[in-house]
Structure 1
Amino acid sequence: MAVARVACPVLIGRESELSLLEDSLLSAIRGEGGVVVLGGEAGMGKSRLVRELAHRAERLGCAVMSGTCSEAELSLPYLPFLEGIGNYLTRQDVPAVRERLGPAAAELGQLFPQMGHAGPVTADPMMSKLRLFEAIVLLLTDAARSRGLLAVVEDLHWADPATRELVDYATRRLRSTKVMMLATYRTDEMHRKHALLPSIQTWRRSGQAQLMEINALDAQGVKAMVTCIFDEVQVSDEFRDFVHDRSEGNPFVLEEMLRDAIDHGDIFRTDKGWDRKSVHEIRLPATVRETILQRLERLQPVEVEVLSAASAIGLTFDVATLAAVAGKPEAAVALALESCVTNQLLEEADRPAGRYCFRHALTREAVYEDIVATRRQQLHARIAEVLESRPDWRAVDLAHHLLMAGSYEQAVGMCVAAAEAAIAAHAYRDAADLFERAIPHVKDAIERGRLMCRAADAYWNNTETLAAKALLEHGIADLEAAGLTVEAAGHRLLLGRCYWELLRTDLAREQFMRARDVLETQGPSEALAVAYIRLSGLDLFDKSGGGGLEDALRAAEIAK
């Protein structure tokens, strides 16, 4: 007889890691906060460890915020903070919070409308971003004012650039506060070009964050898990070594393989309790992916169809959206989901809200990768239709699904809209990435050139001068080839600034002069005044004693 679930009811083999995390939490409560980064391969139990720490934090009276980064290639900037802080604010007296935060509340209005109107935009984008980051830190310290705060950011390996920047900022600002930020990431994702790797290496060298790694269970840990799952007193050394070898000490893989053994009758219940076939007769799948896919084969076709649609939506989803995407009544979808929960593929994330999630990211990956490419595109196209029909749709979500559907013309507009929203939230690298995702799918040379220049501006605002320079060179060439020399001249001012920052003052001067010569023909303008100011500045820094004063006076005359 099969059981409904095969999951270890207690945390096994993680006592030392939990003790270290609890020590960090107690230090935060004493006012010695900071950031802890917990790494480990997929399935090692990072989320389970985080949940256990969160339970203990709540028992100590701490506030707890939690958010998860999205596995989607394009996601909302600051997503885990929007989730964690947003949920926290729904339980608070928001006017009182605004009063305690003072002017910082207006900065938060950019991300959380309930905090009031966003503050005025300043000319310096980096200062605007720093004010936003500082306002978020102030909100976290306010939440921690009585008994401390545990702020969880899960799956940092999937984080958008703005989230990575904010976590890095927190490593320098949360010391001497009552805030413990705990971020998790998958070490098996850390290839040498992964965007998170430089941050991990910096934190390790500087000690700005406490880095921990969760490793595979040893044979005794596996034995303890099997004992707890089956409520047995003893497990033979032969079986212990067998499942330890096959699971490689990965708790999630172990649970999946044991579930498969039960479903196949290799492990079975008798009148006296649990029993099994001999080790030589047990045929466990070679990989966890195989285990999951074999379980799919035992589902009804409608259940597989619903589960496949869910995997295209993402790790978490709600019944209403899934029913619309699958084109089935909600009652039928609910029955299919119930079967998937029973088969240990899904879990209820929020019963009142009708939200479900995949049991693990590995589960979703296995289901999604088993869908043929054309069907995947159809599902993403349908998801985009469903999301767009709702009043609360977000451009970044539509952009992701439209790109995955191969609907590139529609995706371009959504990428641009999402990039503009990211700029408004000072998430400049996110904006640059979105513009770059759109550029290859723009057929018109003029629009492509303009998007290159907008992407370059976003990179420059994020202090990524080399990336900005490369895009400006291409974008300006496209605009000038189309005869838009005046528009291109405006972008040459930024290209000159890039050369200046790269210590190529000769090339910077050339760009400023070319921009000036074109703009002079159009009469006085802000851009022309900037061109003269830049030339004056070059003379000052080069100490050439040339026309610096003359250029400055000309700029002042134009500005009048």
Structure 2
Amino acid sequence: MDVVRMPLPGALRSVPPISYVGRVEERALVAASLQEVSAGSRRVTFISGESGIGKTRLASHSALEAHAAGFTVLWGAAHDELSAPYAPWVEALNHYVEHAPESVLREHVGRHGGELTRLLPALRQVIPDIPSPRESDPETERYLLFGAVLGLLEAATRASRMAIVLDDLQWADRQTLLLLKHVAEQTQALPLLVVGAFRESDLDQSHPLTSVLADMRQVEGVERMALAGLAADDVVELMSAAAGHEMDELGTRLAAEILEETGGNPFFVGEILHHLTESGALERGTDGRWRLTRSITELGLPASVRDVVRRRIERLGDDLSDILIVAAVIGRTFDTELLARLVKLDEDELIDALDKALEAAVVVESPDRVGRFNFAHALINHTLYEGLSATRRARMHQRVAEALEDLCGDDPGERISELAYHWSLATASVDPAKAIGYATQAGERALKELAPDEALRWFNHALELLGAGAGDSAERCALLVGSGEAQRHLGDPAFRETLLEATGIAHRSGDDVRLVRAVLANTRGWHTAAGAVDDGRVDALEAAIAAVPGATADGARLRALLAGELTFSGDFPRVRTLIDEALSTARGVDDRRALADVLSSVSNALLGSADTASERWALSAELVRLADELADPQHQFYAALWRYTCAVQVGDVDEMDLNLQRLQTVSEDVGQPTMRWASLYNGSVRAHLAGDLARAEALALESGGLGHETGQTDALMIVGVQLFAVRHEQGRLDELVDIIAQRAAENPGVPTLQGTLAFTYSELGRIDDAAAIFEPVAQDDFAVLPFDVAWIPGMSRYAEVAARLGAVDAAVSIYDKLVPYRDQIVSSVLTVNGSVERILGVLAATLERWELADRHFAAASEVHERIAAPLFLARTWMNWGRALTSRGDEERGRDRLERAAELARQHDGAAIEREAAGLLAGQVSA
């Protein structure tokens, strides 16, 4: 590869020159990781330990070693309380963009367009003609951003090996950590070292880093280093390095005393040495060597690191101490412009004062921005801050907030989170209105910056400040809407209840704008749950429709969403009216995104009738074209989803595979969990159709796991029906019958469950049990089955039960009902059962209309051969062989049965193979 040499990040250019001591084992692990990365594999190393233990120092050493070996090195850090969304990644990747070859950046842009500008606006300065990022819903945009970061790392590591250090992850926002997890999981083949450092004591079970670390335990190439204190020899070596000479016996005794006091904490050791030199207890003699001016027992070593920090600050004088206390209230990082306003000094006077703090190693200058300083260690600003009383802290936060307001004016921009932070901590001494207002603004900005976790934190904080007494206030409604949107983007199923609460407040208070926003946000992209109606969402949609004029884009969206929620209501005339109104309005307004939204929702709603295949086929083609024009991944995904489900139903293999591939590509590129879930269970359908039962089962189980993790309400139901289809082919329905019987008993009003149980009994030879369910349904002419997308599959199940029972009258009725759909594949969207022609053949054979049965079986065979559906072809041949044998055509019957058994055997279709073999042996009554 062409090695690209890049300068060190500023944080590493300021690393103290003192030699690195101790950590022999850890440094060896770092060296081994660098070798493995050089060989082409990704490594992730987490460094943990208490404050001051040397995490940042070891991470810096690792980065410097990598740079010396020719790596491109990037550095980013989170900051206590005020860390902006994705801050460590922004800091690290901005350095890369600033120094990278333009060819590498253009290669990235060619693949990902302008997605990365959401995170790194500076990329536009390097590539002015970069396109704008694609517009979609915020959740999709966030996953596109993740993909773009991954793409940049892929392009960068083709030019040079890379090491990225992310420091102080205990303060990182959840999105930073999720992006880290995504990078770790998706870069195994890249020459990349990622080092993450964090303070273990700051983590509890609710901390997002805790769950990320747990998830990454099983990821290959990820390791953790837990740092302990330095050993006695290491402390002696550290003191020798600081002194510039080897320690004598007295120095070694002093090292042992310091070790006992500090537990080997390197920062504490260093602070003790600062304390001893600054207090005059340790000084250099005329020979340049350290010597003690008093005995070790007289030293009075501080009992804690905070004690020694306090003593060091006190020696700087009251004026500078007061300045540093104000700086500590601002945060770990502070700039002179803001600090000068607070301490009533001009900037030159302030810089003169800070020079003393620089000399004392209490603060360091930011290498990347003039006028910005950092406390040398988090323990320093924490010690200063914690020395203030609660009342004093609140008052000082108010002063900082007011100074920020003066500095920022009406447009705080990226500093809005600082304002929200300081006003939130000033509420003990002021009215909370400002804190609530700024927290709300910070939440809205975080949503726009694709940081829903940060947004949710601010919205929830504002809700706490607002208090339970806020009732139906407009403020509470706005905060609930923001919280619900953030929860939805995070995949938290609680978004439904949050947004319904906001809807209720908006409706009662007549706030139509927030009502519409809340209702439009309260969807996962299609109906809430297959086979069910969400009454809460229906009520909310109806309220919003009543509040919004129909001839608007939002009016069209609302009607289409309501139609989708009513998919399984059994009231298709109402659904039809809503569909027609939504389409008419959407086509009448000049808004292509609204039309795409409506087409997607309508494609969903049309599943409410068994008679809509041709209409869905036409609309899905229109949606595919429109989604490609918009270049919106969300619309492209749903266009492919609805086109694929139609292609299965009409048996168009080319469209089936093309759109399944599009589904999988978009879901992989975007990485959005709901998309990945839908891609998995639709892949299971395709695998079943192709006769790959092992893959069908694996995909169904994987989708079930992901659906459960992401709170999909129908995940268990979907994996259940797909596993039923697989177990049927495998001849293992006996494993499920008791579960199905229990579910049917618990849900006597769910006709699909009753039909599935009757079918299962009939397949297992429990004819009386099957008849007990079948006969009452048949007497009512199957009116119990809703005429929706599940109607053809349901009637097909009852058709096969009728055949097993020899129920001639029922067979006539079912035949007449199904014959208009003879050109379709039996599909519920979630499962398939071959061509309707096969079912008609089974019914015709039951009626002993042999020539008609032959025509249907021949047509079914042709369909199954054309769409390469071997198990359904084998089942067709088995049904046909049974019919031929029943009417005395033994030779042709045997041929079909033998072919069925062999084909089923090749595809693990034990049920077909066993039944065909039984028929051949005369063991099953023909």
TM-score in terms of structure 2 length? 0.55
Alignment of 1:396-475 (within 5 A): 396-406=417-427, 408-442=432-466, 445-466=473-494, 468-475=495-502
Q: 1:118 maps to which residue? A: 132
Over 3 Å counting, the alpha-carbon distance change for 1:54 and 1:289 in structure 2 is same
Q: Does 1:16 align with 2:31?
A: no
Query: CA–CA distance in 2 between the matches of 1:415 and 1:181?
Result: 33
One-letter code of the match for 1:555? Answer: I
What is the aligned partner in structure 2 of residue 45 from structure 1? Answer: 54
Q: Is the Cα–Cα contact under 8 Å of residues 66 and 80 in structure 1 kept in the other structure?
A: yes
Does the 8 A contact of 2:542 with 2:562 survive in 1? no
Per-residue CA deviation, residues 277-302 of structure 1 (Å, 9 max, x unaligned), is 33321201111111111122222222
Cα contact 2:22–2:230 (8 A) shared by 1: yes
Given the two structures, how large is their TM-score scaled by the length of structure 1?
0.88
Q: CA 1:326–1:203 in structure 2 vs 1: closer, same or farther (change >3 Å)?
A: same
How far did 1:133 drift? Answer: 0.6
What amino acid maps onto 1:278 in structure 2?
S
Q: Which amino acid aligns with 1:381?
A: A
Describe the superposition over 1:456-482 as per-residue Cα deviations: whole angstroms up to 9, x where unpaired. 11111210112x245335433433443
The residue aligned with 2:265 is: 250
- One-letter code of the match for 1:453? V
Q: 1:274 aligns with which of 265, 290, 306?
A: 290
Give the whole-Å Cα distance in 2 for the aligned partners of 1:457 and 1:479: 15
Q: 1:311 aligns with which of 312, 317, 328?
A: 328
SS at match of 1:185: strand
Q: How many correspondences in the alignment?
A: 542
For 1:361-376, list aligned pairs within 5 A: 361-371=378-388, 372-376=392-396
Q: Does 1:81 align with 2:89?
A: yes
Kept in 1: contact 2:66–2:163 (CA 8 A): yes
Cα distance in 2, alignment partners of residues 22 and 85 from structure 1:
24
Contact 2:41 2:190 in 1 (8 A): yes
How much has 1:312 moved relative to structure 2? Answer: 2.1
State the shift of 1:396 in Å: 2.0
Report the counterpart of residue 518 of structure 1 in structure 2.
543
Matched, 1:68 2:96: no
> Residues of 2 paired with 1:223 and 1:421: CA distance?
51
Q: In the alignment, is the contact (CA less than 8 A) between 1:384 and 1:401 conserved in 2?
A: no
Secondary structure in structure 2 of the residue aligned to 1:196? helix
Structure 2 letter corresponding to 1:135: A
Q: How far apart, CA to CA, are the structure 1 residues paired with 2:478 and 2:179? A: 29
Alpha-carbon distance between aligned partners in 2 of 1:554 and 1:470, rounded to the nearest angstrom: 25
Give the match for residue 162 of structure 1: 175
Q: Distance in 1 between matches of 2:330 and 2:224?
A: 32
Deviation at 1:88, TM superposition (A): 2.3
2:616 counterpart residue number: none
User: 1:202 deviation in Å?
Assistant: 2.1
Which residues of 2 match residues 106-505 of structure 1 at below 5 A?
Answer: 106-113=114-121, 114-115=123-124, 116-123=130-137, 125-207=138-220, 209-230=222-243, 231-236=245-250, 238-272=253-287, 273-276=289-292, 277-350=294-367, 353-371=370-388, 372-385=392-405, 387-389=407-409, 394-406=415-427, 408-442=432-466, 445-466=473-494, 468-484=495-511, 488=515, 491=518
| CA pair 391-477 structure 1, distance change in 2 beyond 3 A | closer
Moved more, 408-417 or 61-70: 408-417
Q: CA RMSD in A?
A: 3.0
* CA drift at 1:235: 4.3
Tell me whether 341-350 or 485-494 shows the greater mean CA deviation: 485-494
Please tell me whether the aligned partners of residues 74 and 93 of structure 2 are also in contact (alpha carbons under 8 angstroms).
yes
**448 and 547 in structure 1: CA distance in 2 versus 1, 3 angstrom threshold:** same
Q: Relative to 1, partners in 2 of residues 1:386 and 1:168: Cα closer, same or farther, differing over 3 Å?
A: farther
In structure 2, the CA distance between the partners of 1:118 and 1:181, relative to structure 1 (3 Å rule), is farther
Distance 2:269 2:514 in 1: 61
Give the superposition deviation at 1:519: 4.6
The structure where helix makes up a greater share of residues is 2
- The amino acid of 2:52's aligned partner reads G
1:534 maps onto 2:565 in alignment: yes
Matched residues in 2 for 1:357 and 1:109: separation?
A: 27
Q: Secondary structure at the match of 1:52?
A: helix
Q: Match of 2:190, SS?
A: coil
What is the CA–CA distance in structure 1 between the aligned matches of 2:422 and 2:355, rounded to whole Å?
26
Q: CA deviation at 1:361?
A: 0.5
CA distance in 2, matches of 1:520, 1:480: 11
The CA deviation at 1:32 is 0.5
The one-letter code of the counterpart of 1:209 is V
Q: 1:13 to 1:447 in 2, by over 3 A?
A: same
* Structure 2 CA distance for partners of 1:19 and 1:147, relative to 1, 3 Å: farther
Q: C-alpha displacement at 1:556, in angstroms?
A: 4.0
After superposition, give the CA deviation of every residue in 1:295-351 in whole Å (9 maximum; x if it has no partner): 222222221122122212222233334323322122221221121122231123328
**Alignment partner, residue 642 of structure 2:** none
Q: Which amino acid aligns with 2:365?
A: E
Alignment CA distance shift 1:313-1:487 (3 Å): closer
Contact 2:85 2:446 in 1 (8 A): yes
What is the CA–CA distance in structure 1 between the aligned matches of 2:453 and 2:86, rounded to whole Å?
12
User: Shift in Å at residue 93 of structure 1?
Assistant: 4.8
- CA drift of 1:71 comes to 0.7
CA shift for structure 1 position 399? 2.0
Residues 97 and 200 from structure 1, CA distance in 2 versus in 1: closer, same or farther, beyond 3 angstroms? same
Choose between structure 1 and 2 for higher RCO, CA contacts under 8 A separated by at least 6 residues.
1
Cα distance change of structure 1 residues 263 and 394 upon mapping to structure 2, 3 Å threshold? closer
Range with greater deviation from structure 2 (478-487 or 446-455): 478-487
Equivalent-residue separation in structure 2 for 1:386 and 1:521 (angstroms) = 44
Q: Tell me the SS of whatever aligns to 1:286.
A: coil
> Quick one: distance in 1 between partners of 2:58 and 2:322?
33
- State whether residues 474 and 506 of structure 2, in contact with CA within 8 Å, keep that contact through their aligned partners in structure 1: yes
- Of the candidates 31, 45, 61, which is equivalent to residue 40 of structure 2? 31
Task: Write the letter of the residue equivalent to 1:290.
Answer: D
Contact (CA 8 Å) 1:226, 1:235: kept in 2 or not?
Answer: no
Q: Which moved more, 1:165-174 or 1:480-489?
A: 480-489
- 2:916 alignment counterpart: none
C-alpha displacement at 1:135, in angstroms?
0.6
CA distance in 2, matches of 1:552, 1:245: 80
* Residue 94 of structure 1: how far off its partner (Å): 4.6
Q: Distance in 1 between matches of 2:447 and 2:36?
A: 37
- Which ranges in structure 1 are unaligned for 5 or more consecutive residues? 1-6, 540-545
The separation in 2 between residues aligned to 1:89 and 1:500, in whole angstroms, is: 43
Cα 1:500/1:437, change in 2 over 3 Å:
farther
Higher Rg? 2
Give me the whole-angstrom Cα distance separating, in 1, the residues matched to 2:324 and 2:306: 15
- 8 Å Cα contact 1:62-1:144 kept in structure 2: no
C-alpha distance in 2 between matches for 1:147 and 1:130: 26
Relative to structure 2, which stretch is displaced further, 350-359 or 136-145? 350-359
Bigger CA drift: 149-158 or 320-329? 320-329
Q: 1:178 to 1:549 in 2, by over 3 A?
A: farther
Matched-pair contact (CA < 8 Å) for 2:481–2:514: no
